[in-house]
Amino acid sequence: MNIEDKITNAVVAGIKELYGADFDAKNVALQQTRSEFEGQLTVVVFPFLRMSRKGPEQTAEDLGKFLIQNIPDVVGGYNVIKGFLNLQISSACWAGLLQSIVADPDFGTQKPTDESPLVMIEYSSPNTNKPLHLGHVRNNLLGSSLARIVEANGNKVVKTNIVNDRGIHICKSMLAWLRYGNGETPESSGKKGDHLIGDYYVAFDKHYKEEQNELKAQYIAEGMEEEAATEKAKQEAPLIKEAHEMLVKWEQGDPEIRALWRKMNEWVYAGFDETYKMMGVSFDKIYYESDTYLEGKEKVMEGLEKGFFYRREDGSVWADLTGEGLDEKLLLRSDGTSVYMTQDIGTAKLRFQDFPIDKMIYVVGNEQNYHFQVLSILLDKLGFKWGKDLVHFSYGMVELPSGKMKSREGTVVDADDLIEKMIEDAYTVSKDLAKNIDIPEAEAREIARKVGLGALKYFILKVDARKNMLFNPAESIDFNGNTGPFIQYTYARIQSILRKAEGLETTGSDKAYELSDKEISLVQKLNGFAAAVRQAGIDYSPSGIANYCYELTKEYNQFYHDFSILNADDEAARQFRLTLSTAVAQVLSKGMGLLGIEMPERM
C-alpha cells in the first residue's frame, strides 16, 4: 500500500473514531503541499466539517493528532493552515517507499490480464507509391508510444496498420516504371524499394505535366479558352488515360497487371520495413485496402438492404446523417466503385472478425476529423459494438523551420533522410562532447543512433499531439533544456556514478539517515510516475510522459548539483543517495521506454 492510501485509510478511520461518522475514502482530498508551507502532503478538511461540527482549524488539529498517534511510521509531524492539514512524512517512510520503487520491476505500470479489455490501435497508413515522410514519422511515433502507454495501463493491445495499396496513384508509378524503368530494380539501382517507386511516381507527374502543356497549347491555338483548355488537357493527356485503363484492368483482375502490382508493392514493403525498424515501430497485424474494399462494399449493401442507407437514381449509395446533425455521405459511386469510407467499413469488418475488440483507436491527422465522426456513426449503425465509442486520436501537422530538409520530391521531408541526418548530427555533437573519452568507433556510432533517434522522438512526442508543431533538428539535439539528449545524458551520468560506486568499500551503517527536503522532493517525484502513466493513459497523451521525464530529470540534476553522492559525509547518506540515483535511472528508462526511446549507458 502506498503512502497516499495509508493516509487516506487513516483519515477515514479517524472520522469514524472521532466523530462517529462514515466517510467514503474516494472523497478524501489529498494533494501535494504547496511549496510555501512545511510538509509534503495536505489533507483538505472542509468536507469533514458537517461531521465534526467544528471549525476547520479544530477539525484539522483533531485529525493531525489522530494520524500522529495511529500511523507514526508515516506521519512525523503536521501543521494547520486554515482548512488544510499539512503533513510531514517521516524519513523512514520515504526511504521505505524508495526501496519499494527500486525493488519493483513493474513500478508505475500495470500488466494486462486475461480479463483486460482489448484495445486496437491503427497507425502509419502509408501509400505504396512513395516513401514515408515527416508526417508519417509523427504518426508512427505517436501510435507506437500510445500503444505502449495503453498497455502500461493494464490493457491488451493490438497494433495495426492499413496500407493504401490500390488506386490510381499506384497505377501511376506502375505505368511510369513500364515506360521509363528499363527493368530497374532495387538491387540494380542500389535504392530502397520505396524510394525507387517514389521516383517513378515523380517521373509520371513530370511527363504527365509535359503532355498537359502540349495539349493545352494545341487547344488554345484551336480557339479554346485557357481554363477550358487546361481542364481538357488534364483529362485527355495520354498518360492519365492509360493509367485509368490500367486501374480498370487491375479491378478486373488482369493477371499481368496484378503480377506487376504485387512485384512493385513487395519492393515498397521491404523499404517500409527498413524505415519502421530504424524508428523502432512494429505492428501485430497489417491490413491492405486491396483486401478490405470489397468487404466494405458487401457491408454497405447489407446496410442498404436493412434500410440504413439509400440508393439514388444514378445508382450511387448514400447514408443520410442529417438526423445526427451532419450531411449525406457517399458510400458507393454510381459505377459501383468504393470510396475511403467504404474501405474503412470493410477494414473494420475484417478486424472485428479477427479480434474481440473492446476499443478502437485511429491515429490519423486532424484533417480527417469529420471523416471519423461519420465513420463512428456508420459503424454503430452496422452493429460494431465499439463503433459509437471509437477514438480518433487526432494530431496536427509537423513542419521544419525551412519547410523541408533533403527531399526527393521537393515538397515533403523524407523520413529516411531525416533519420540519417539526426543520427549524423548526434554523432558529431557526441564526439565533440566525448573528445577526452576513449570510446570505440562502433560504440560511438551506436550511442549516436540512440541519441539521434531519441532527439527526434522526444522533440515530436513532447508536444501536445493536437497541436501543429515545428520540428527543429538543431534544437532537438541540444544537451540542455527540454530535449531527449538532456534526459539521456542524465541517465548516462547516473550509470557512470553507479559504476564508480561498485569499486568503493562499504562499511555499513546502523545510523538512521534524516532526509533533506530536496531528497524527499525527489522521492515524491519518483512516486508520481504511476499517476503520470495513469493520466497519460486516460488522456492518450505521450506528451504527459515526456513532461514527467523532463521534470524528474531537472529535479535530479538540482539534487546532483547540491549534494555529494560518492563523497557523502557518511555511509548512510551515500547508500541512500546511490539508491535514489538508481531509482531515478530506472524510472527514466521506463518513462522514456514508453516513448520508444533507448537510453545509452554512457555518452
| Interval 100-139: pLDDT, tens | 999 999 999 999 999 999 999 999 999 999 999 999 999 9
For residue 35, the domain's CATH number is 3.30.1360.70
Phi-psi region of 461 (alpha: psi -120 to 50; beta: other; left: phi over 0): alpha
pLDDT tens for 226-244 read 999 999 999 999 999 999 9
535-581 pLDDT per residue, tens: 999 999 999 999 999 999 999 999 999 999 999 988 899 999 999 99
158: Cβ–Cβ under 8 A, 6 or more apart, which residues?
118, 119, 120, 121, 284, 285, 355, 357
Q: Please answer whether residues 360 and 330 qualify as being in contact, where contact means their C-beta atoms are separated by less than 8 angstroms.
A: no
Instruction: Examine residue 230 and state whether it is found in any structural domain, yes or no.
Output: yes
C-alpha closest to that of 516 among 33, 91, 99: 91
Q: What is the CATH number of the domain that holds 514?
A: 1.10.730.10
Residue 400 C-alpha cell reads as 521544419
The pLDDT score that the predictor gives to residue 309 is 96
CB-CB contact of 85 with 78 (8 Å):
yes
CATH value at residue 175? 3.40.50.620
Number of domains forming the structure of the chain: 3
Domain boundary among 355, 383, 404: 404
Q: Give the residue from 404, 439, 465 where a domain finishes.
A: 404
- Rounded CA-CA distance 18/6 in Å is 18
Is the residue at 337 inside a domain? yes
How confident is the model at residue 557, as a pLDDT? 97
* pLDDT number for residue 405: 44
Q: pLDDT-derived band of residue 582, with 50, 70 and 90 as boundaries? A: very high
With 0-12 / 13-18 / 19 or more C-beta atoms within 10 angstroms meaning exposed / middle / buried, residue 512 is: exposed
pLDDT in tens, 454-509: 999 999 999 999 999 998 888 999 888 999 999 999 999 999 999 999 877 665 55
Q: Are residues 376 and 512 in the same domain?
A: no
- Residue 403 has what pLDDT? 54
Write out pLDDT tens, residues 96-106: 999 999 999 99
Distance of alpha carbon 69 from its chain centroid, rounded?
A: 46
As a whole number of angstroms, the distance between CA 56 and CA 10 comes to 18
Which of 275, 230, 231, 226 lies closest to 124 in space, CA to CA?
275
Residue 504 lies in a domain: yes
Give the relative orientation of helices 56-70 and 3-19 as an angle to the nearest 10 degrees.
120
Res. 401 pLDDT band, cuts 50 70 90? confident
Could you tell me if 394 and 439 lie in one domain? no
**C-alpha 233 chain-centroid distance:** 44
372 and 425 share a domain? Answer: no
Which residues, 6+ apart, have CB-to-CB distance to 135 below 8 Å?
365, 397, 398, 412
- Tell me if 220 sits within 8 A of 226, measured CB to CB: yes
Q: What is the mean pLDDT of the chain?
A: 93
Q: Can you tell me the distance from the alpha carbon of 164 to that of 347, in angstroms, rounded to the nearest whole number? A: 12
Is residue 543, in this structure, part of any structural domain at all? yes
Query: CA geometry: angle at 17 spanning 13 and 22, to 5°?
Result: 60
Query: Where is the domain boundary, 353, 382, 404?
Result: 404
| 63 and 192 assigned to the same domain | no
Residue 493 lies in a domain: yes
Q: What is the 3-state secondary structure (H, E, C) of 399-463?
A: ECCCCCCCCCCCCCCEHHHHHHHHHHHHHHHHHHHCCCCCCCHHHHHHHHHHHHHHHHHHHHHCC
Range of the domain at 298: 118-404
